[in-house]
Structure 1
Amino acid sequence: MTDSTLPRPGDRRPSSIELERRSFRRTQNTRSVLIGVASTLVFAVLIWIFVIQTPGWAAVQKSFFDPAIAVQAFPRVIEGLWLNIQVLAFAAVGVAIFGLALASARTLRGPIFFPIRALAAGYTDLFRGMPLIIVLYLVGFGLPGLQIFPRMPVAFWGTIALILVYSAYVSEVFRAGIEAVHPSQRLAARSLGLSHGRTMRRIILPQAVRKVTPALMNDFVAMQKDVGLISVLGAVDAVRAAQIETAQFFNFTPYVLAGLLFVLLALPMIRLTDWYSARMRRREQGGSLV
C-alpha cells in the first residue's frame, strides 16, 4: 500500500454513532440554556414580588440604596479601603511566614522536639478557638497598655492580631499539605544525603504548597473581609469611614457602599481560586468527571 492510498486525517468522516452523540450534546446544551434562562426569569419575578413590591421597599431603598449619598460618601470610604489593603498586604506576608514556621514546628520528628511541637499545637488550638474580635481587643488595647512598646498606629496592632489568628489556620493547612506528601519522598531525599532542612525546602514544601494552594487562597479571601474588623480599634478604614458618613447623613448607604467595595476587592481572588481549583481537578482526575 502506497502513501497515496492511505487515508488522510482530513478525509476521515465521523460515524453515524458519533453524529448521534454530537446531536444529543447540542440538544442537551440548548435545553440547559433554556432551563437556565427560565429559572433566572422565575427568580427575578420572585425578587420583584417579595422584595420590590413589599410595602416597606421604598423606605428601605431610601435608607440603604441612595445613589446621591453613595457618591458623596465614596471618597472617604475608598480612602479607608486603601488602609484595609495596606493591612491586608502586610498581614498576608506575615501569615504565610509565621504559618509555615508553625507547620514546620509541628512536623518535627524526634522526642527532643516535643516541647516545640507542644507549643505549636497549643498556639494553634488557642487562636483557632478564639474569636478574632477578642484578639483584636486584647492586642490593640492590651499590648500598648504594657507601655513597653513605642507608640504605634492602631493599624499596626490590627495587623498583628490578624497574623496571630490566621497563622493558626494557615499552619494547619500547610501541615495537611506536608503530611499529604508520601513518606517515601522524605526517605529518598535523606538516602541521597539531603539534610532535614534541605529535604523540606527542596522536596516536601514544593509538593505540599501545590496541594493546598486552593485552601490557602480561600483563607486569603476570608482574611480580606476580616480586615474590616480593625475598625473596632479606631482605625479609619472603610468600615469606620462608612460609620462616620452614616452618622453624617443619617443613612445606611455608606455601609452598603463599603460592603460592595470589599466584594470587589475579594472578587478577583475568588475567581482565581475557582479557576485554579478546577484546573487542579482536571489535571488530577484526567477526564474521569461524569
Structure 2
Amino acid sequence: MSHEPSAVELERRAYRRGRSVRSVVVAVVSSLVVVAAVWLFVVNTKGWAAAQRTFFDPAEAAKTFPAVLAGLWVNVYVLFFAAIGVAVFATLLAVIRTLRGPVFAPLRFLAAAYTDLFRGVPMIVLIYLVGFGIPALGVLPLIDPRILGGVALVIGYSAYVAEVLRAGIESVHPSQRLAARSLGLSYAQTLRLVVLPQGVRRVVPALVNDFVSMQKDVGLISILGVVDAISAANIAKAISFNYTSFVIAGLLFILLSLPFIQLTNHLERRALARQQQGAVV
C-alpha cells in the first residue's frame, strides 16, 4: 500500500516550493546587482583598458597557454604522490592520538606536538626549510626539488588532515567499539573495520577541503626552481612584462579544483538528505 502524504506534509511542500522560488528570484536580482557594480566600478573605469592589456590579453594568453599547461602537469604529478603520503601519514598520526592506555602516552604526546607545531608553520616557510635545508646538510645525494616540495607538503598537510581524521574517529560512539570487541574482533580489526570507515565517512567534506587547499599550495614548489605552472607563468611575465600568464595559471588551478569542490557539495547534500530521511508526516 502506497503512503499518501498528509495535509500537513502537503502544506510543508508548498511552503518549501514557495521559499525555493523566492530564493531563485533573490539570487537573480543580487547577481544583476553584482554585474552592474562590476561594470560601474571596474570595467567602466578609465584604467580598465590598461588593466585589460596587462592581465587579460588574448594574444598573450594564447602564446603562454601551452607552457603553463605543461607546468601544470608537474603540479598534478607532485600533488598525486603528496596526497598519497598525506593519507598514509595523517592516518597514522590520527590513530596514534586515539590510542588508549598510559603505555602509549609518549606516542600520543609526540603526535600531538607534531600536529600543533606544523599546523602553525606557514607552508612557504616549510617548503624553504625542506627544499633548501635538507640539501644544505650534505648528508644525502642530490634530490629532485619536486620530491623535496612533495615532502614539505606531506609534512605540513599531514598535521591538518590528522586532526580532521581524529575528530572523525572520536565521533564514533563507544558502543560501536564495544560491540565489535564483543564479537571477537581485535583492537586493530575494530579500528580498521568498524571505527575508521564510520569516522572517515563523517569527515569526507573536510578532507576534500584540505585536499583542495593542498592543490593550491602545490604551486609554492616553484620557489625551489621547479618549472611548474606558476614558474612557467613567471618566466612568460619576465619576457613580455605581461601578467596574463598568471591569470591563465589561476584559471587552470580553478579548473583542477572544481571537481573536488563539486564532490564536497554532493557529499554534503547526500549527508543532509540522509539525515532528513523519514521526515514525511
Alignment identity in percent? 57
Partner of 2:114: 123
Per-residue deviation, residues 168-222 of structure 1 (Å, max 9, x unmatched) = 0000011001100111111222222221111111111111111111110110011
Residues 110 and 37 of structure 1: is their aligned pair in 2 closer, same or farther, counting only changes over 3 Å? closer
Q: After alignment, is 141-150 or 95-104 more displaced?
A: 141-150
**C-alpha deviation, 1:43, in angstroms:** 1.8
Q: Residue type of the partner of 2:276?
A: Q
* Root-mean-square deviation (Å): 2.3
Counterpart among 89, 92, 102 of residue 98 in structure 1: 89
Q: Any unmatched runs of 5+ in structure 2?
A: none
SS at 1:286 equivalent:
coil
Alignment of 1:225 onto 2:216: yes
Q: Describe how 1:137-148 pairs up with structure 2 within 5 A.
A: 137-148=128-139
**C-alpha deviation, 1:118, in angstroms:** 0.8
Residues 179 and 21 of structure 1: is their aligned pair in 2 closer, same or farther, counting only changes over 3 Å? closer
Partner of 1:213: 204
**C-alpha deviation, 1:36, in angstroms:** 3.2
Aligned mates of 1:192, 1:35 — CA distance in 2: 55
Q: Describe how 1:1-290 pairs up with structure 2 within 5 A.
A: 30-286=21-277
Q: Any unmatched runs of 5+ in structure 1?
A: 1-7
Name the TM-score, length of structure 1 as normaliser.
Answer: 0.89
SS at 1:143 equivalent:
helix
Aligned mates of 1:207, 1:258 — CA distance in 2: 38
Q: After alignment, is 245-254 or 275-284 more displaced?
A: 275-284
Q: Residue type of the partner of 2:132?
A: F
Aligned mates of 1:24, 1:281 — CA distance in 2: 19
Name the TM-score, length of structure 2 as normaliser.
Answer: 0.92
Aligned mates of 2:12, 2:190 — CA distance in 1: 50
Aligned mates of 2:15, 2:260 — CA distance in 1: 36
SS at 1:236 equivalent:
coil
**C-alpha deviation, 1:142, in angstroms:** 0.7
Q: Which has the larger radius of gyration?
A: 1
Aligned mates of 1:265, 1:67 — CA distance in 2: 21
Residues 125 and 24 of structure 1: is their aligned pair in 2 closer, same or farther, counting only changes over 3 Å? closer
**C-alpha deviation, 1:57, in angstroms:** 0.7
Partner of 1:4: none
Q: After alignment, is 74-83 or 147-156 more displaced?
A: 147-156
Q: After alignment, is 92-101 or 109-118 more displaced?
A: 109-118
Aligned mates of 1:107, 1:75 — CA distance in 2: 48
Q: Residue type of the partner of 2:170?
A: E
Q: Residue type of the partner of 1:269?
A: F
**C-alpha deviation, 1:76, in angstroms:** 0.6
**C-alpha deviation, 1:150, in angstroms:** 2.3
**C-alpha deviation, 1:149, in angstroms:** 1.9
How many residues align structurally? 277
